[in-house]
Chain A
Amino acid sequence: MNFKKIFQQLIWGFVFMLIVSVLYSGALETTGKSDNGRTDVISIQMTGGKSQMPAVMFFHDLHTASLENQDCSTCHLKGDDKQYSFKFMRTVDFDYDVNMTVYHENCIGCHNRMKSEGKFAGPDTGKCRGCHNQDANVVTSWANLDFDRSLHYRHESAGAIKPVSEKHKNNCGACHHEFDKKLRKTVYVPGKEGACQYCHQDVNTKDVRDMQTVAHESCVNCHLALKSKRVIKTGPTECKGCHDLELQKEIKQAESVPRMKRNQPDFVLMAASLMKSMASNTKSKATIPPVAFNHKQHETASQSCQTCHHASLEKCSSCHTITGDKKGQFIPLEKAMHETKSTQSCVGCHKDAQTKKDCAGCHAQMAMGNKRSNQCNRCHHMDIKDSEQLPSETDAQVMMAKASVDNRNTTPVIYDSKIVPEKVSIGVMAKEYQPADFPHEKVVKSLLARLNKNTMGTYFHQDKYVMCQGCHHNSPQSATPPKCASCHGVAPKMATDGRPGLKGAYHGQCIGCHEEMGIEKPAATACIECHKKKQ
C-alpha cells in the first residue's frame, strides 16, 4: 500500500481539476447579461484590420452624464469650420492601426487617469473584453426620428436659425444644400431643397457622406451652438433626446403648420401613358381614365413629403415607369400606385387609414387585397379618352385636374330614416336567450358620423349603399339587403368551407366590430347585455 504514490497522484488530479474549474467558471461568466434597452449604444468596429475582437458597444449618454461638468471638446475635436467633428478625437479617419491607437490611447488613457484620481471609470488597461463586448447581448432601443412637417416648421420658423446670406429671405439654406462636385463643397440652391436622405444614405461614398455622420454634425452642432448662446428652446444634444421612443412622443407638435413653400402643384393630372405618347408625339387612346390628384390636400394628410416622395421630389412616374426601370428598382407604375402592403403607394396609404378605430370595425373584417374592382373609378374618373384631349402645358393640366377634383361629390353620406330600420329583433336562434333587440339606426348613425369625419371617408362611400356593405356583405348593394340567415345556416354543422353558421356570423360580425373599434361596452363576454337570458 504505497500511500505516498497514491497521495501524489491525487494531488496532481486535484490541481488539474482546479485549473479546469477556473477556466470553466471564466466561460460561465460570459453568459449573456442583457440590459433594459438603451438608445445611446454606438457600435464601434473598425474595418480593414485583421483583428478578430468583437465590436465595442459604447454608451454615449452614460459618458456625457458622468462627465457632466465638461463639454463635448473632451472627446470631440473641432474642424476648420469651428464645428465639432463627432468622430472620436479626430476629424478624419486614418489607417486602421492609427485609428485603433487613437481609440485605445484616449479611451483607456482617460479611464486610467480617472481611476488614479479615485473616481469610478470604465475598463482600464488589460480589460479588453470590458469594452469589446458585442457578444454580451446589449439591447438597443434606438428609434429613428421622424422629422415630420411639424418639426420642420418649428425649425423653419425659428428665429435663432438665420438665413444663409442676406440674399435669402428664408432660412432654408441653413440646412438644405446641394453638393458642387467641381468646387467640392456644398452650396445652397433655392428651389431645389429636398429631404436629407435623398442624398445622404447608409454608407459613405466619395461625394456623399452617410446620414448618421451628417445628421449629427449638422443638427447636434447647431443645437450645441445655440445652447452655448443660452437660447432657451433648443434641440436635444443627448442621444436619447431624439432617439428614445418615449421622449419622441414628448416632442411638441406645432399647432398649425402652414403649407411648405416649395413650388409644388396644388393638383396633378396623372396620366402616365398618355403623357408618354404625347412626349413622343404619337396619338394613343387612354387605357384607363387618368387620375386627378389633389396634391394640396394630401400634403396635410401625411407626416412629411417623404411619405410619398420617398427618394426624390420628382413625380412618381419618372422613376416608376409603366413597365419598370432600374431607377425605380424595377417596380412598375401600377405597383407603385396600388401596392396594398406599402404606405408609399396611394392604395397602401388608404388601406392603412382603414386601420383607424373609426374605420376598422368594418374594414378589419374584410379581406386584404384590392380585389374589388368596382372602386377603381373613385380615383380614375377623368373624362379624357385619348392623348389629344390632354393639354400639353403643365398649368393647363393642373387646371383640368382641379376642375375634376372640384367636380367631385363630397357631400356627407346620409340615409333617409325611412329606409333605415330603427330596431331589428334577432330571434331566429333563441334557445337559451331571448331575442336580441339590435339598435340598428343608432349604429348606422354612429358609423355615418365617423365616416363623415373626413373627406376620404365621405368620398369613398359616395355609392349609395356602400356603407351598408360593412355588415351586409357579399350581396348586391341595396336599401333592403338580404337577411344574414339567407347565407349563414342556422343548424350547427361541420365546417366544409370558411363560411360561419348563423350564430358565429352574428357574434363574429358584432363582437369583431366592437373589438376593432375599441368599444368596451358591451363586453364580448357580457352576453346578457345584448340578449337577456330565457327563464
Chain B
Amino acid sequence: MEQTSRISLRPLITPFNMILGAIIALGCIITILRFTGGLAAVTHLDDNNPWGIWIGFDLLCGVALAAGGYTTSAACYVFGLKRFHSAVRPAILTAFLGYALVVLALHYDVGRPWRLPFPIFWQQGTTSLLFEVGLCVFLYLSVLFIEFTPAAFEWLGFSKIRAFIVKLTLVLTILGVILSTLHQSSLGALYTIVPSKLHPLWYSAYLPVYFFVSSIFAGLSMVIFEGSLAHKYLHHKMDDTHLKETHGVVLGFGKSASFIMVGYVAIKIIGLSVDNNWHYLFTDYGAWFLIELIGFVALPSFVYAIGVREKNIRLIQWTSIWTVLGIVLNRFNVSLIAFNWQLSSAERYFPGWMEIAISLFIVAIGIVAYRLATNFLPILHEHPDYQAH
C-alpha cells in the first residue's frame, strides 16, 4: 500500500475541516474559562442537577458507543468468527479513542480533575458503584491501549514487542469483555441508588443488565456506522481483505444486533411487569418511554432483520444510525430527562451552549485523532510486513 511520504497541507483545507478547527479552537477557549471560572462559568449545573450532558452524553453515551471494541474482538477471537477480523482494529481504535476522550471529558466535569487517581490509588470507596466504573474504565483503557499498540508498533517497526503483544490477544480480549461487562453495567447501576429521583419506567433493579445488553448492540451498530463512514471517506486506505469482508461484517453485525435488541425489548417488558408499572405507560412519560423502546429499539431491530434478509447493506447502515440515536436517547432519558422528573420545570436542567460546545469539541478531537491514526497506521489495511494474519 502506498504511504504518502510528504504531507501536503492544501487538501486539508476543506469546509468540514474548517468547522472541526473552529470547534476545536472554541473548545480551547472554553477550557480556559472552565479552569479559571469554575463550573458555574461554563455550565448550567446547579445543586439539584449536579450531572449534565458532560456525564449524560460524554460519559454515558461515549462509553456505550465505544463498546464496539469488546464486541468485535470477542466476536473475532473468542467466538472464532475470523471473517470479522478486518473490523477488529478499527473497532479497537474507536474504543481506545472513545475511552480516552471519556477520561478527557471527565477532566472537565469533575471539580478537581488532578485528583482523579485518588479513588484508585489513594482511598478506595468500594461501596460505590462509581468506584466500580472508575476502576474498570481505568483498567479497560489500559487493556485497550495495549490492544491498540500492535498497530503503532507495526508502523514504528518494533516487531519483537509487537509479536509479544499479539500473543496476548486472547487474554486481553477476555479481560476486555470482563471489564466491559463490569463497567457498562455499573454505569447503569449508578442510578439504582435513586429510585426516588428516576421515573419508575426507567428505574429498575435491572438497570445494570439493561445498560450492559444495550451496550452490546450499541457497539455493533457503531462499528457498522463508522465502517460506512470510513468506507466513504477513507476508502483509499482500505486493502482488499478489508473491502471484501465489509459486507460480511455489516450483515453479521446487523443480524446479531437485531437478535440482541429483541432480547433487550423482552427484558424491558419483563422489568415493567415485575414492578407492575403498566399504568405509567398511559402518561406523557409513558408515551416517551414507548417512543424510545418501540421507535428506537424494536423498530430498528425489525428493520435490521429485513436488511439482513434482503442483504440490503444501505438499509442496515441507516438502521445502525437509528440504533445509535436510540442508545443516545436512552442514556439521555436515564440521566437527564427521567432523572429529577418530579422537580418543577423551573428547577429542571437544560445544557448551556458552552457545555454543548465542549461535547462537540471532544467529538471533534476524536474525529481528528481517528483520521490521523487511520492515515498513518495499519488500521484499515494490513502492514505489508505483517500479513501473517
In the complex they form, whether A and B have CB atoms below 8 Å apart is answered with yes
List A residues at the B interface (Cβ < 8 Å). 1-2, 5-6, 9, 13, 24, 27-28, 30-31
CB pair A1 B310 closer than 8 Å = yes
From the candidates B287, B302, B312, name the one contacting A1 in the complex (CB within 8 A): B312
Closest Cβ neighbor of A20 among chain B residues: B294
Select A28's contact among B282, B306, B312, B315, beta carbons within 8 Å.
B282
Whether the Cβ atoms of A31 and B283 lie closer than 8 Å is yes
Residue pair B287, A28 in contact (C-beta under 8 Å):
yes
The docked-state distance in angstroms from the alpha carbon of A31 to that of B286 is 12
Q: Produce 1/0 per residue, B279-319, CB < 8 A to A.
A: 00011000100100000000100100010001110010000
Query: Top 10 nearest A-B pairs by Cβ distance?
Result: A27-B282, A28-B282, A1-B312, A6-B306, A2-B310, A6-B310, A31-B282, A1-B310, A9-B306, A13-B302
Q: Which chain A residues border B283 with CB–CB below 8 Å?
A: 31
Q: Contacts A1-B312, A13-B299 known; list 6 others, CB within 8 Å.
A: A1-B311, A5-B310, A6-B306, A6-B312, A13-B302, A24-B290
Query: Which residues of the other chain, B, contact A1 by a CB distance below 8 angstroms?
Result: 310-312
Give A13 to B282 CA distance when docked, in angstroms: 22
Scan B152-179; emit 1 where CB is below 8 A from any A CB, else 0.
0000000000000000000000000000
When distances are taken between beta carbons in the complex, the residues of chain A under 8 Å from B312 are 1, 6
Residues of chain B contacted by A27 (CB below 8 angstroms): 282
Determine the distance from Cα of A2 to Cα of B309 in the docked complex, in whole angstroms: 10
- Measured in the bound complex, the distance between the Cα atoms of B306 and A2 in whole Å is 11
A13 shortest CB reach to chain B, Å: 7
Which residues in A have their C-beta under 8 angstroms from that of B306? 6, 9
Closest to B307 in A: A6
- Min CB distance B310 to A, Å, is 6
- Once bound together, how far apart are the Cα atoms of A13 and B298, in whole Å? 12
Residues of A within 8 A of B299 (CB): 13
Within the assembled complex, what's the spacing in Å between the Cα atoms of A24 and B282?
8
Distance to closest chain B CB from A2 (angstroms)? 6
Residues of A within 8 A of B302 (CB): 13
Residues of B within 8 A of A (CB): 282-283, 287, 290, 299, 302, 306, 310-312, 315
In the assembled complex, the Cα of A5 lies from the Cα of B307 at a distance in Å of 12
Give min CB distance, B237 to chain A, whole Å.
28
Q: How far is the CB of A194 from chain B (nearest CB, A)?
A: 50
**B interface secondary structure, majority:** helix
Residues of chain B within 8 A of A2, CB atoms compared? 310
> CA of A18 to CA of B68 in the docked complex: distance in angstroms?
35
Q: Could you count the A-B residue pairs with CB atoms below 8 Å apart for me: how many are there?
A: 21
What are 21 A-to-B residue pairs whose CB atoms are below 8 Å?
A: A1-B310, A1-B311, A1-B312, A2-B310, A5-B310, A6-B306, A6-B310, A6-B312, A6-B315, A9-B306, A13-B299, A13-B302, A24-B282, A24-B287, A24-B290, A27-B282, A28-B282, A28-B287, A30-B282, A31-B282, A31-B283
- Provide the residues of chain B in CB contact with A30, threshold 8 Å: 282
> A7 → chain B, closest Cβ, in Å?
11
- Smallest beta-carbon distance B294→chain A, Å: 8
Query: Shortest distance in angstroms between B231's beta carbon and chain A's nearest beta carbon?
Result: 18
Given the complex, which residues of B lie within 8 Å of A6, measured CB to CB? 306, 310, 312, 315
Q: Which residues on A sit within 8 Å (CB–CB) of B311?
A: 1
Q: List B contacts of A9 (CB < 8 A).
A: 306
Find chain B residues with CB under 8 A from A5 CB. Answer: 310
Residue of A nearest to B314 (CB): A1
- Provide the residues of chain A in CB contact with B315, threshold 8 Å: 6
Alpha-carbon distance between A217 and B311 when the two chains are bound, in angstroms: 80
Q: How far is the CA of A97 from the CA of B287 in the complex (A)?
A: 41
Which residues of chain B have C-beta atoms less than 8 A from A13's C-beta?
Answer: 299, 302
| Chain B neighbourhood of A28, CB < 8 A | 282, 287
A27–B278 Cα distance when bound, in Å, is: 12
For A13, the closest partner residue in chain B by CB is B302
Measured in the bound complex, the distance between the Cα atoms of B312 and A2 in whole Å is 9
Q: Kindly list chain A residues whose C-beta atoms are within 8 Å of the C-beta of B282.
A: 24, 27-28, 30-31
Q: How far is the CA of A2 from the CA of B310 in the complex (A)?
A: 7
Shortest Cβ gap from B63 to chain A (Å)? 32
CA distance A423 to B368 in the complex (A): 86
**B-chain residues with CB within 8 Å of residue A24 when the two chains form the complex:** 282, 287, 290
- What is the minimal beta-carbon distance from A399 to any residue of chain B, in angstroms? 70
Measured CA separation A30–B312 after assembly (Å)? 43
Q: How far is the CA of A9 from the CA of B290 in the complex (A)?
A: 21
Q: Across the two chains, which residue of chain B brings its CB closest to A31? A: B282
A31 to B299, CA, bound (A): 28
A30 vs B299: C-alpha distance in the bound complex, in angstroms?
A: 28
- Report A331 CB to chain B, min CB distance, Å: 43
When C-beta atoms are compared, the residue in chain B nearest to A27 turns out to be: B282
- The chain A residue with its CB closest to the CB of B283 is A31
Beta-carbon nearest neighbor of A28 in chain B: B282
Give the shortest distance, in Å, between B226 (CB) and chain A (any CB). Answer: 24
Docked CA distance A28–B290 (Å): 13
Residue of B nearest to A30 (CB): B282
Assembled-state Cα–Cα distance A1/B311 (Å):
7
Task: Give every chain A residue within 8 A of B287 (Cβ-Cβ).
Answer: 24, 28
In the assembled complex, the CB of B328 is this many whole angstroms from the nearest CB of chain A, namely: 22
Q: How far is the CA of A295 from the CA of B386 in the complex (A)?
A: 114
Q: How far is the CB of A6 from chain B (nearest CB, A)?
A: 6
CB distance from A117 to the nearest CB of B (A): 38
B340 to chain A, nearest CB (A): 22
Cβ of B12 to closest chain A Cβ, rounded Å = 37
Min C-beta distance of B1 to chain A, whole Å: 32
Name the CB-closest residue of A to B286.
Answer: A28
A31 and B306 CA atoms in complex are apart in Å by 37
Q: How far is the CA of A162 from the CA of B37 in the complex (A)?
A: 89
Minimum distance in angstroms from A403 CB to a CB of chain B: 68
- Please, how many angstroms separate the alpha-carbon atoms of A2 and B311 in the complex? 10
Report the Cα distance A144→B120, complex, angstroms: 69
The minimal Cβ–Cβ distance linking B256 to chain A, given in whole angstroms, is 21
Q: Which residues of A contact B310 (CB under 8 A)?
A: 1-2, 5-6
Q: Which residues of A contact B290 (CB under 8 A)?
A: 24
Q: How far is the CA of A276 from the CA of B89 in the complex (A)?
A: 104
* Distance A30 CA – B287 CA, assembled complex (angstroms): 14
Chain A: minimal CB distance from B366 (Å): 33
A142 to chain B, nearest CB (A): 29
Q: A6 vs B314: C-alpha distance in the bound complex, in angstroms?
A: 13
Query: Nearest Cβ in chain A — how far from B296, in angstroms?
Result: 13
**Whole-angstrom CA separation of A1 from B282 in the bound complex:** 40
Most buried by B among A2, A28, A30: A28
Nearest Cβ in chain B — how far from A77, in angstroms? 43
A6 CA to B315 CA in the complex, in Å? 10
Give the shortest distance, in Å, between B304 (CB) and chain A (any CB).
13
CA distance A24 to B312 in the complex (A): 33
Q: Nearest Cβ distance between residue A11 and chain B, in whole angstroms?
A: 13
* Cβ-closest chain B residue relative to A9: B306
Chain B residue with minimal CB distance to A29?
Answer: B282
Closest to B290 in A: A24
CB distance from B45 to the nearest CB of A (A): 33
- Distance in angstroms between the alpha carbons of A139 and B243 in the assembled complex: 69
What's the Cα separation between A27 and B283 when bound, in Å?
10
**Alpha-carbon distance A24/B286, docked complex (angstroms):** 11
The CA-CA distance from A2 to B315 in the complex, in Å, is 12
